[in-house]
Each structure stands twice: as C-alpha cells, then as structure tokens.
Amino acid sequence: MADRAYDVVVIGAGPAGLAAASRAAESGARVAMVDDNPNPGGQIWRAAAGKSPKEAARWLQAAEANKVEWIAGARVFAAPEANRVALETLDGGYELEYRGLILATGARERFLPFPGWTLPNVMGAGGLQALAKSGLPVEGKKIIIAGSGPLLLAVAKYMRGHGADLRLIAEQAPQAKLLAFGLHLAGHPGKLVQAVGLRAALLGVPYLTSCWPVSAQGSDKLESVTLRRGNNSWTKPCDYLACGFGLIPNVEIAALLGCRMSATGVAVDEYQQTSVAGVYSAGEATGIGGLELALAEGEIAGYAAAGRNDRAQSRFRARNSYRRFAEALEQTFSPREELKSLAHDETLVCRCEDVTLGRVRACSGWREAKLHTRCGMGPCQGRVCGGAVEFLTGWRAESVRPPVFPARIESLARE
Amino acid sequence: MGDAIRLVVNGTSVSVPAGTMVSTAVAMAGSSLFRRSVSGEARGPLCGMGICFECRVTINGRAHCRSCQVPCEAGMEVRTDG
C-alpha cells in the first residue's frame, strides 16, 4: 500500500481516539485513525454481536460524518523518522506522515502471576469478556471472577446476562476502601447509577473483598481455583477464572517517540500535548481514569492537534472533575502488598520465554534479566510480564526499541 | 449475529456466526490448548486483545497469527499446536 499524509493521525480507536479524531476532523483537519483491531470502539465498546452502546454509536457516527479515514487491523511498530509512523497490516506494511499525532493507545490488564496462572482457561477479566463478546458461549459455564477494580463487576454483569454460572467475585481491595470509594461516587451521579445497576444485576452472586486466588489447578486446562481470604483458604471447581488486577497504560509507542512519562502514564500538558511537540496523548495511556475522562481528554487532544486550543478549553472543567474520580479509583483498587507473595520462585513470570520468578529475582535489574533470562524478550515484548515484574521487584522497563510489536521481515525491510 | 460461516479447526468443520474471532472458533471446536510454550506447557488466550500472543495459531498456513484479532472467514483452515 502507498504511503499517505495527514494533518492528524490518531493511534487507537477506543473512546479517546474516537473523540480525538472526530473533534480534529470537525475542526477542519484531514484525519486518519488507526487501530490494531478489526473494528473501532476499543475494548470497552467492542461490539457484541453487532450491537454497541448508544454513546459509542454517537461517536462512531461523528467520526464517519467528519470523514475520518479508518485504518483497521493495523499495528504501529516503528517511528522511522520525525512525523512518520510505520504500520503493518495482514496485507503488508506502509507509512503514514502526520503533522500532529494523537496517541490514544489505551490500557491493558495488569496480570499478577500465581501458581497455575498459565493454564488454559485462566484469562484476564477483560480477556474472557472479549472472547465472550466475540461469540464464546459462556452459558452454564462455572466462572470465578477475581482481581481488582470496577472492571470485575462489569464483566460479572455481562457473564450473568449471558447465562454463565457465576460462582464468585473476589476483589482484593478491602471493604473499608470500597466504602470510602462508594461515598466518593455520590459526587458523580452517573457513576452512582451505574454502580447501583451493577449491584442489582449481580444479586445473589457472592462478592468477597480482601479475597484473591492463590493458585489454579488442572492438567492441560483449568479445573479448580484456590482462594484465600484472611486465614481461610478453599478450593472451588470452575471452567474459567477471569482474573485481572486493574489496568496499566500502553505507553510503548509514546516511549519510542521519546515522550516523557509521569507517575501514571504518558506525561501531558493541559492541551494533552506530550513532551514531544506535535505529539498528543489522551485516555488511559496518560493514566487510568475510565470512559468519561478518556472522552474529555480525547476531545481536548483532537481540538488542540487541529490548532483549536480555544475549543479545547471548553472541556477542561469536565476533565478536571473526572481526574478526581480517577485518583479515587487508584487509591481504592491499588494492589495490596500481600499479593507480592502470590508468585513463588518456581512460578513463571514471563509466559513467552517461560522464565521463573526465581531466575528474574537473581538478576540485579531489568537489563540483566533480559540478557540472562530472556524475560520480556518474547513476542509480547514485556507487555504481560512488565507490569508483574514492576510490582514484584520495583524495576521499571528502561527503554523501548523498534519494532514495538513483532513485525514481518517484509515490513522491517522497508525501514 | 450474521450468517453462519464454516471453517476448519484441526481438521474438524466448525460453523460460527459472522463476526466471530478465530480464537472463539477454536474454543467452540473444543480446544482449550492453542499453543505449546517453549518448555512445552499448554497455553490458551489470556488477554483477548492482541497483547499477550498466547492465542497464536496457524491460519491458512501462516504461523503465529493472534487468533483473537482475526475474524473468521469461510473456508479458513486453522491449526493449533498438538
């Protein structure tokens, strides 16, 4: 495919990307929106059987009406020179030239290793949801949902609605923190309605706080999960364990471009511009904050990238209020210290290269672990083990080098 | 859901609704093992969103395709590790 040039290129077509692309295009920019997935909407608006929520439909229509060019199934794997990104699709590789770039790369689940977590049918909470939304029948399946955060409840509601035999929701956060969070919700009526709706939908499903899985058992696939709460532990048979300990931002492309990081993700100024001029970031990539914050940040980034800072300012107030909610979210659901002892020395941390925690811990830092054990050097490039290693050892990945995703030789040869 | 699509998973014909991802078709065909890890462990999908590479399968002869990112097409031939 031929290389193409745009005023604004948006990477990621979730809520932040859609809002950014629509606002930039509406302000007169020629916009392309790129995503790895076959359909826009991101993980949260991943269409289930062709249906998407009303708000999603509104943004999808806005992008289309404003003639945003949609590039599906394309991964950005390199930034060969200033103002250019290299993409790969199933049909080959090409480059996009931009004047403004908006990184709306979203987040992934934080996985914490425990014995048995590599067994088939132990998945992320969002992972099982994604599979179910793409047609996996869950009716009658025994499911345990575990980990942390509001996503657990959303997934539980979906599974329940599709006839799953939901056995337990295990939330690692303590009850006291959840109560404080509940009080905070009162300041956000929309969130409160959502929370009450979730509770009603989950009537009868045990929801245990300060509870987490300590091991999964099975031969070649999951058969049972052992859970712990205080001094009690017990084992429950199940077909699927959906387990995720919150979300972590996808910052690889930003890091590749040399953008500065903050404590929560990609660092941005009030117009969502990163430390690299002309490169913006919005949504979960800048810090986990949920749907409304992602939309507000996306709108601001879209307006600003198209040169309309005046319009961007109109969303500042909304964004700041949603940011306070994000802070409460972080305080409530941050993983507790005890989870650091979930993985044993012989537990695999890196699933790509089958590296145990013991081997990683014997190293002095990320660099040595990569060189000596190949931890983080497989196809996922540390996307799964990176969050776990950071939580378990405190090491933060030092540098990102292209290709940020495994790419075919033909695509690399173009560079 | 759209019309049914027929594809072949490990030699067995499977019918799925249009829009179904290959990962789901593999699971519906009864396989929870998608690939063997470097040390031979059974593995299946983890993230469901193209990040973890655990759901890699061979599609129409092309190895290492992330099955959770590829929609099913009529006549597709999918193989998992044994």
Three-class SS string for A41-75? CCCCCCCECCECCHHHHHHHHHHHHCCCEEECCCE
Q: Which long-range contacts (CB under 8 A, 24 or more apart) does B60-68 make?
A: B64/A379, B64/A406, B65/B22, B67/B21, B67/B22, B67/B23, B67/B25, B67/B26, B67/B34, B68/A130, B68/A131, B68/A134, B68/B21, B68/B22, B68/B23
Q: Given an 8 Å threshold on Cβ–Cβ distance, is B38 in contact with A354?
A: yes
pLDDT in the model for residue A400? 74
pLDDT in the model for residue A48? 55
Partner residue opposite A38 with nearest CB, options B28, B51, B71: B71
Whole-number Å distance between alpha carbons of A358 and A179? 37
Domain architecture of chain A: domains with CATH: 4-108+248-330 (3.50.50.60), 111-245 (3.50.50.60), 340-393 (no CATH)
* B73 confidence band (pLDDT: 50, 70, 90): very high
Q: Given an 8 Å threshold on Cβ–Cβ distance, is A120 in contact with B71?
A: no
The amino acid that residue B79 corresponds to is R
B51: distance to nearest CA of chain A, Å?
A: 6
Interface of A with B in 349-378 (CB under 8 A): 351-354, 378
pLDDT in the model for residue A49? 47
Average pLDDT of adjacent 10-residue blocks, chain A of 415 residues: 87 97 98 92 74 84 95 91 90 91 97 98 96 92 96 92 95 90 70 67 86 96 97 97 96 95 95 98 96 96 98 96 90 95 97 97 94 94 93 84 74 66
- Closest residue of chain A to B26, computed from CA coordinates: A136
Backbone dihedral region for residue A194 (phi beyond 0: left; psi -120 to 50: alpha; all else: beta):
alpha
CB-based contact A283:A15 (threshold 8 Å): yes
B66: distance to nearest CA of chain A, Å?
A: 11
Task: Give A359 or B82, the one with higher predicted confidence.
Answer: A359
* B66 confidence band (pLDDT: 50, 70, 90): very high
B6: distance to nearest CA of chain A, Å?
A: 14
Domain architecture of chain B: domains with CATH: 4-79 (3.10.20.30)
Helices (H), A271-408: 291-305, 309-312, 316-333, 357-361, 366-373, 385-393
What pTM was computed for the model?
Answer: 0.91
CB-based contact A42:A106 (threshold 8 Å): yes
pLDDT in the model for residue A122? 98
pLDDT in the model for residue A200? 65
A50 touches chain B (CB under 8 A): yes
Interface of B with A in 41-70 (CB under 8 A): 41-54, 56, 64, 68-70
CB pairs under 8 A between A and B: 120
pLDDT in the model for residue A414? 64
Q: Given an 8 Å threshold on Cβ–Cβ distance, is A127 in contact with B45?
A: yes
pLDDT in the model for residue A347? 98
Is the interface score ipTM higher than 0.85? yes
Average pLDDT score over residue span B25-52: 95
pLDDT in the model for residue A190? 67
A314: distance to nearest CA of chain B, Å?
A: 33
Whole-number Å distance between alpha carbons of A11 and A48? 23
In chain A, which residues have their Cβ closer than 8 Å to the Cβ of B48?
123-124, 126-131, 134
- Mean pLDDT, chain B, whole residue set: 93
